[in-house]
Structure 1
Amino acid sequence: MKTRIESKTGMLLTCFILLLQLFTACSPEAVVYQKDTTPEEDAGDRVSAANTALSLTYTVSPGGNSWVINSIADNGDVIYDDGVHNWTNLDHVIRTYFKTSSTGALDVGLNIKAPTGSSKIAVTVGDETKEVEITNTVYQVVDIGTFSIDTAGYQFIEIQGVEKSSAYIGDITGVLVGGAATTGGITYVEDDFYWGRRGPSVHLSYEVPENKDIKWFYNEVTIPQGEDIVGSYFMANGFGEGYFGMQVNSETERRILFSVWSPYDTQNPDDIPDDYKITLLGKGDGVTTGEFGNEGSGGQSYMVYNWTAGNTYKFLLKGEPSVNNSTDYTAYFYAPEVGDWQLIASFRRPYTSTYLTRPHSFLENFVTGAGYLTRKGLYGNQWVLDTQSQWHEMTRAKFTADATARSGARLDYAGGADGNTFFMQNCGFFSDNTTIDSYHDRTANGIAPTIDFSQLETPTIATAPTLLDKTGWEVSDFSSEATSGEGTNGFASLVLDGDGETYWHSCWTGCNQTYDYPHFLTIDTKQTQSADGVAFVQRNGSRKVKDIQIEVSTDNLNWTSMGTFVLQNTAAEQYIDFSQTTSFRYVKVTMSSAYDGLSFAAMAEVSPFVR
């Protein structure tokens, strides 16, 4: 045993000498060091100077601070909480953002590995680029080199693959920085990566006249060209119990969204007792209604309307006490392209008896992959009408921001007044921000809105549509079904059995079919039908579907899209209306995402209806 110990000691000493020789022979511009770490060990830790020839003081986690800037859609496949993974595309440009309060030399390193083979990457700061070959297959700190920071503020380190010998370019769990430029400290997202990637939300709370009951709230919103970024919600008319504004939901779809919170505190609308539920009193043409969760819960409505940057849109909200200790909220939207006020929806909120309170606006990003892009909204000509039919112009507002901003994790937020207009701006890592809790005054316009209230559409309580008889129908095609693991459930045919407690579930075990989105179901009604929409009942449990597309066909070959829609996170029956009565034999529902963010889908019932 003694001989074996002495032999191991000698081997260790020899390895140490060889490593020391390697250290002294390598160039400081691209030195590979034996700092084997797991992602969990490395992320967010300070780096000892003994591990590197550079002064690498901070480790910035890619999980909360990096984006694939030339492909929003690929961020979820490449950027994870513990770093950069599945990085295979040489065209992907990855940027890591942080803010410095000093200038001077910036030392840069990466905790990186090439999963198989080797690769070459280019790292850029400012106008200087260094290329480094990565050959290590375990995580190690690789010195990239020293760059120059001439201006304090937000900086980014840009990384792109140059060459690769296998499918993967590399995995990165830490972007390391130090040097004179970091002596004053740096700002970056250290935890709570989801909210850090979304970026700070900003708000304007308008000062209202004292001792007045406010019945109507009017606002105008203009989004400058180029500021209409995917994931933006330009909320115009916020109030104590809900919000009303316009969104950029995708590259091809935009919406007008109006929601009212239930007084019952829960994130799951299925948990709301019946007497606490928001009641729909009526909705406009082309408006989808249902329930929402995860940000409180309540009633929600939206209209798909592809509004245009540069045009000004008007929002009008009414709030007044109603029967049995309730309050009715009604939202109207004016688009210059249409030239008339359109009813969005009217909701009744129980256990609430009030006129409008806390008029405000906010700007948020709800797509994490777009958190590196700046968006800006102009909010002008705010007025409220009291119960005595007197208009009051609101020209003073308080600027505030959310916890992401207040914690100092993200400092790219701004808001205030510019002439006769308020503005808000967030995300994109601009360096100048506005003091939180500051007050701002815009120039008064002095001309009250001209609105003929008698011409506004009166909400009417919608009657439930009539579901078509599904006897003899069949599911003729589907992406997958769970033939095991769900008991008597799981089969695609169950969406036609008229029972909301039975459900189809996508394949998740013991099958050769697809596990991932998109999932689809094709229904053959056996003869030509006419319908005004499709009703859905989600599974009373997990795997609720979010984004869907509905298509119809008369021959199962040529398909017509009826649109893309968002199902609500609830097991209550919900109705998706077509823009007009439509004839078909086949209905295809394609599902592209779920509320739980996983790969599986479930559905209890799919039922075309007539109104």
Structure 2
Amino acid sequence: MSKKNVRYIGLICCLGCSLSLLAQVPQLTIEQGDSLILDLGGQIPDGTAIRWERSSNLSSWSPVPPSNSPVMRFLPAAPQYFRSRITKPDCPAYYTDTVQVNLLKNWSGTGSKLNAGRSYIIPYVSSSAGLITDEKGSLTEWTNVNRKAVWYLYQQAGRYDLNFILTLTNRSTRDFVMTCSPAFAGLDFEPVTRDFSYTGIGKKDSVWMISTTFPKTGYYRYELESKNNAGTIIISDLLVKGYSTPDKPITVAPHTTDYLSSPSVHLHYSSTAPNTSGKVNDWIYQEVLVPDSAVSPIATYWESIGFEGGYMGLQHNGENHKRILFSVWDQIDADYYARIGRSCPADSLVSLVDKGDNIHANAFGNEGTGGQSYFADARTWTEGYPVKFLFNVRKDEADCSICTSGKKPTVILSAWYCAYEPGNAPEGIPEEMKGWKYIASWRRPFVNNYQEGTGSFLENFGWSNGHLVRKGYYYNTWAHNATTNTWNHFNHCYGSNTDGATGQRIDYEHGISTDSEHADKFYMLSGGYGNTRKQSSYTLPLKTIDQFPYLKNLELKPFADRVDQALVAEQELKDLLNSVKDKSAWTLKYYSSQAATGEGSNGFARLIIDGKKDTYWHSQWQSGGSTFPHILVFDMAEEQTLHGVVFTLSGGSDRFMKDISIGVSNTFSGSSTGTNTQATNDANWTNAWAGDTPDSGSYYLPFDQPVTSRYIRLKIRSGWGNGDPNIRINELDVF
């Protein structure tokens, strides 16, 4: 009884009147009891006579049924050779290439079934059009012949067969090229390429792809090219069978890595100078250099200054999209409270104190929760130009609803960056992007200490290009001692990483650069599936601040003054929130959209005025969704004099409103939803405020002059979510 079918396609090289032989007889290895299926592939011209033959010694051949069929099925009992004799009416008879079939009754093997979607697409582009991979599924929608699929498999020394489980439209023929090559030098393996055609049968089929023999253990790269896009193809699985000899046992099954994203690499800094330990540092400075575009792929984070409760650094987020990021974590995971349906204790959350011009600020989740602030532009930073970072900790306190004293200890965490010095910037960088730029200040509760050390990491946050190399240099790392008022050089560090276990990714490096141009710099590298250089801990020569005049001459007072200014702005907003008008008598009069389903108990327009910061309105996104503009009208019960509005939002930039107007009126009538020209016609409203709002989770918008009215209208024309019409607002207040 056969255990499985093994199909070999592409015996024939020519159906014309000439014969093209392979330089080497291809080999196929199957297990005892497997059924062998040999397939000529392609379309057979009318009048062609086909006779299958087999031999044990390449000299004596005997026929194998059936006759005149392009497909032969056979159950081998011993190793044999197979070929096909082709006869056409106007041509002499000739033979196809011969395939050698080995039987594995005397071998031991380990097999693996792998998701075909655990592959990379080359050349890498941020769009998946033309070929789609799914890390936990299949490879599908292969319509672009210029895109190829690549798998990296960890394989021990031995012999291997690779089969695909695929489905191709019945009678559609695809031409493929499969190439197997070593992922890095030193594996002593020459690349092997196989060209073949496959004709679909309209259902799942097992197709042999390539056989290889590897002399050494390591990662091997399999590249599949589709020369045409005939039919609809789904490649669901890779079947890899490895066979060992007694002196080369296979103990680890061939497999892809657990993580297709490249390893995360970390540096942990300290100083060899005496008396520099402890939580004594109120300022930290560092520079980061991404050397060139070849090691700067999309979905990379070069984290610079890591601190207790957060980090900052630079990111490559997409085509024409780079960021400088500064994030601070809550003391609790707010997502957990949302999952269990409990109100989150607000006293344990971070809060934005203030932010710089053109800085986006919002809450984040999914990896803990907290607040993030960033500047985003195509020219935020440039490869080859170092980015300077400065971080400050200031001890403070704040009101606390759960503390006996009514106060809680906090720290004010502030950050700045300098991507371009005025005299050293690429052509075309505007003046406003040069020099030191303030990012933001965040208040983190229940902490009241300075920083001890700092750390950096290099991360790939998108698995689809985890095969690409990313690299960064980290240097001039200094910490300012708040007690002694001195700068100390962090000249020592040790590294760590994810992955690295047997059979997992080892393509990472950290240490002191050996490049002559960057010999005084720590560096990290990740990706490429290479056999990389490893170090554990490393020390640079210790410097005094006199040896780094740039930082010695950097005046800290303007930076400290900006934190003072931020605290003033925070207090102004607090005073406004304490003076907002009572909304208990307010009613919702009109809404153009609301998420009545899909948001649990949230989503309703009335929740914008319920006085609770943890409930929210959401525009309709189910049942066809909704489009801009979104319009909401509220009745304040009586005429009131207004000086401005305060918004509390959540959901991040993708849910923040952008272009809005605040209208006022003393009359309103008509339906509460649907068609209502009183609500939608701008001529019925007097604009009190109009323009783009901050990309932030809370802010106030003062009116140019006070207005008196009973009805207030919010009209939302766009959001910060790149055309996404979904908007989320927790609370609207007026003062």
TM-score > 0.5 by shorter chain: yes
Query: Alignment partner of 2:128: what SS?
Result: helix
Q: Check if 1:161 corresponds to 2:226.
A: yes
1:222-272 deviation per Cα after TM superposition (whole angstroms, max 9, x unaligned): 001112211111100001221111111111111111112222245458664
Q: Which amino acid aligns with 1:169?
A: I
Q: Check if 1:248 corresponds to 2:313.
A: no
Following TM superposition, by how much is the alpha carbon of 1:381 offset from its aligned partner in structure 2, in angstroms? 1.1
Query: Alignment partner of 1:455: what SS?
Result: helix
Paired residue for 2:382? 308
Please point out which of 130, 133, 152 is paired with 2:198: 133
Please point out which of 464, 487, 491 is paired with 1:391: 487
Following TM superposition, by how much is the alpha carbon of 1:99 offset from its aligned partner in structure 2, in angstroms? 3.5
Following TM superposition, by how much is the alpha carbon of 1:356 offset from its aligned partner in structure 2, in angstroms? 0.6
Alignment of 1:373-384 (within 5 A): 373-384=468-479
| 1:407 to 1:251, Cα distance in 2 relative to 1, 3 A | farther
Query: Alignment partner of 2:719: what SS?
Result: strand
Query: Alignment partner of 1:458: what SS?
Result: helix
Whole-angstrom CA distance in 2 between matches of 1:331 and 1:78: 39
Following TM superposition, by how much is the alpha carbon of 1:74 offset from its aligned partner in structure 2, in angstroms? 1.1
1:321-376 deviation per Cα after TM superposition (whole angstroms, max 9, x unaligned): 33343222211111224443222112222221211133100011112222221111
Q: Check if 1:223 corresponds to 2:290.
A: yes
Please point out which of 122, 130, 137 is paired with 1:82: 137
1:520-552 deviation per Cα after TM superposition (whole angstroms, max 9, x unaligned): 4224799xxxxx9995735xxxxx576369775
Please point out which of 312, 328, 331 is paired with 2:415: 331
Whole-angstrom CA distance in 1 between matches of 2:156 and 2:34: 36
1:450-475 deviation per Cα after TM superposition (whole angstroms, max 9, x unaligned): 310012252213444999xx999988
Q: Unaligned stretches of 5+ in structure 2?
A: 9-31, 43-70, 75-102, 182-190, 398-407, 426-432, 514-518, 581-585, 634-643, 662-680, 683-690, 702-713
| 1:431 to 1:521, Cα distance in 2 relative to 1, 3 A | farther
Contact 1:412 1:432 in 2 (8 A): yes
Contact 2:133 2:139 in 1 (8 A): yes
Following TM superposition, by how much is the alpha carbon of 1:315 offset from its aligned partner in structure 2, in angstroms? 0.7
1:389-442 deviation per Cα after TM superposition (whole angstroms, max 9, x unaligned): 11111121111012x34575322211110120011111232222525xx10223
Whole-angstrom CA distance in 2 between matches of 1:607 and 1:235: 36
Please point out which of 557, 560, 574 is paired with 1:454: 557
Alignment of 1:572-587 (within 5 A): 573-574=697-698, 587=717
Q: Which amino acid aligns with 2:179?
A: T
Paired residue for 1:588? 718
Q: Check if 1:110 corresponds to 2:214.
A: no
Whole-angstrom CA distance in 2 between matches of 1:488 and 1:207: 49
1:554-577 deviation per Cα after TM superposition (whole angstroms, max 9, x unaligned): 999xxxx97996x8xxxxx54599
Alignment of 1:333-412 (within 5 A): 333-336=417-420, 337=425, 338-387=433-482, 388-402=484-498, 404-406=499-501, 409-412=504-507
| 1:562 to 1:28, Cα distance in 2 relative to 1, 3 A | farther
Following TM superposition, by how much is the alpha carbon of 1:67 offset from its aligned partner in structure 2, in angstroms? 4.0
Q: Check if 1:237 corresponds to 2:280.
A: no
1:57-78 deviation per Cα after TM superposition (whole angstroms, max 9, x unaligned): 4344334454454333318943
Contact 1:68 1:74 in 2 (8 A): no
Q: Which amino acid aligns with 1:455?
A: P
Contact 1:553 1:587 in 2 (8 A): yes
1:67-118 deviation per Cα after TM superposition (whole angstroms, max 9, x unaligned): 454333318943240232344433331111124454x765322122225553
Please point out which of 244, 262, 278 is paired with 1:199: 262
| 1:548 to 1:359, Cα distance in 2 relative to 1, 3 A | same
Paired residue for 1:439? 537
Normalising to structure 1: TM-score of the pair?
0.71
**Percent identity of equivalent pairs:** 22
Contact 1:60 1:190 in 2 (8 A): no
Between stretches 413-422 and 181-190, larger displacement belongs to 181-190
Query: Alignment partner of 2:296: what SS?
Result: coil
Query: Alignment partner of 2:308: what SS?
Result: coil
Following TM superposition, by how much is the alpha carbon of 1:199 offset from its aligned partner in structure 2, in angstroms? 2.5
Paired residue for 1:214? 281
1:478-508 deviation per Cα after TM superposition (whole angstroms, max 9, x unaligned): 9xx86878899878x8899899856345454
Between stretches 267-276 and 233-242, larger displacement belongs to 267-276
Whole-angstrom CA distance in 1 between matches of 2:492 and 2:531: 25
Query: Alignment partner of 2:464: what SS?
Result: helix
Query: Alignment partner of 1:206: what SS?
Result: strand
Whole-angstrom CA distance in 1 between matches of 2:281 and 2:600: 55
**Structure ID, larger Rg:** 2
Query: Alignment partner of 2:207: what SS?
Result: strand
Contact 1:315 1:333 in 2 (8 A): yes
Which stretches of structure 1, 4 residues or more, deviate above 6 A after TM superposition? 19-22, 27-34, 53-56, 470-476, 481-491, 493-500, 548-551, 553-556, 561-565, 605-610
Q: Check if 1:422 corresponds to 2:522.
A: yes
CA RMSD of aligned residues (A): 4.9
| 1:591 to 1:116, Cα distance in 2 relative to 1, 3 A | farther
Whole-angstrom CA distance in 2 between matches of 1:138 and 1:202: 44
Paired residue for 2:638? none
| 1:162 to 1:506, Cα distance in 2 relative to 1, 3 A | farther
Q: Which amino acid aligns with 2:617?
A: Y
Contact 2:352 2:443 in 1 (8 A): yes
Contact 2:139 2:235 in 1 (8 A): yes
Q: Unaligned stretches of 5+ in structure 1?
A: 1-11, 35-48, 527-531, 539-543, 568-572, 578-583, 595-599
Q: Which amino acid aligns with 2:296?
A: D
Q: Which amino acid aligns with 1:333?
A: Y
Q: Check if 1:26 corresponds to 2:91.
A: no
Whole-angstrom CA distance in 2 between matches of 1:157 and 1:499: 59
| 1:472 to 1:162, Cα distance in 2 relative to 1, 3 A | same
Alignment of 1:468-547 (within 5 A): 501=615, 503-508=617-622, 511=623, 513=624, 520-523=627-630, 537-538=649-650, 547=654
| 1:300 to 1:483, Cα distance in 2 relative to 1, 3 A | closer
Whole-angstrom CA distance in 1 between matches of 2:554 and 2:693: 33
Paired residue for 1:38? none
Whole-angstrom CA distance in 2 between matches of 1:321 and 1:252: 38
Name the count of aligned residue pairs: 532
